[in-house]
Structure 1
Amino acid sequence: MTDTPRQPAFVLVRPQMGENIGAAARGMWNFGLDRMRVVDPRDGWPNPKAAAMASGAGRLLDAAQVFADTPAAIADATHVYATTARPRDMTIPVLSPERAMADAHDRLAAGERVAILFGPERTGLENDDIARANTVITVPVNPEFPSLNLAQCVLLAAYEWRRQTAEVVHEAIDTGRGGWASAGEMEILARHWEDRLDEAGFFFPEHKAEGMRRNLRNLWSRMPLTQVDVRILHGALRQLVRGRKGPE
């Protein structure tokens, strides 16, 4: 673990419950973040409840830096973001988490040092903390219930950070060991079914047979089958035919 400036420092300001600190550590590590700073934790430090909740992310707590106040925790930062859901009487840019993490990524790439402030569970960040920030991050939550748990807010920001720094696959299908069936494999499957259906008298009456075959081929072409699917359909048809003929 390194204190690299290529990722933001997540600063937990006056956190109250050790469990939330541990859950925040887990959320950070889920998305590859390891620069945690803790400001004046209510129950002291180290906190055994935080360690228990952190589970496999205990390394973040071991390396976490502890500060007496917010100014000390952000002293080395060139740009500070403050997370808050409440409107403030301040003239300060307000960004969504997605836009904020894109901005943070660009600043870090340019050599800046970035810190993100997260407030205590009961009250959130105080005005004096927010006044020290350059930008506010606000989550578009339900206005009738805007409060986020500390660990939830950390997790959300960490996820948006990951989206800026790692390739995100928005849709995928696991095709198994064989992959998708080829056109040739689909052709063999279609012929297999046509031949067996022809033997069973399916293509009747004769003047409709050509259209029925064409529709059946079109049905196969609309079905995205894997190689495993093709083997199953071959086997199912063979078993049906064997059952119809009876034991040999």
Structure 2
Amino acid sequence: RQSLLSPGRAAADVAEALARGERVALVFGPEDRGLNNEEITHCHKLVTIPTDPAASSLNLAQAVLLLLYECAGAVRKRPKVDTQNTEEAHPGGARQVTAAEQERLMESLKDMLLRLDYLHGDNPDYFIMPWRRLFTRAGLRRHEYDALMGLCRQVRHKMG
């Protein structure tokens, strides 16, 4: 399980990502059960909204409103950054990988680890989750992604 963020902490993270010129998606699940496990595996961070035990859930509109309100406030508090200037928008001069690129990396890594018999076929998606969290926390840059994809290709090639 990933650690759960408060709406305020999540909003600060969203504001930081937007300031770096990154795209952000907020995903909400159905009111009665939230996101399922497979949907959660594609989420980089999880948010929980604390409620009173007597009223333990919010409806979807309330949850969306509360989180977007927090995000808007966090964005307003941040200084403006020129996202056209690569050095300011992307410290170190390289952009972070997109969610689609990270998904391709996870599929490539999973395939490689299955071939190496590091992951077992009974539930590889569960055992790849720590890798997902690691790469999400690392904030991979494009050149790092390219290096890892190259490693996966080379291992698959050597394994036949």
Answer whether TM exceeds 0.5 for this pair.
Answer: no
Q: Is the radius of gyration larger for structure 1 or structure 2?
A: 1
TM-score w.r.t. the length of structure 2 is: 0.44
TM-score of the pair, normalised by structure 1: 0.29
Larger fraction in strand = 1
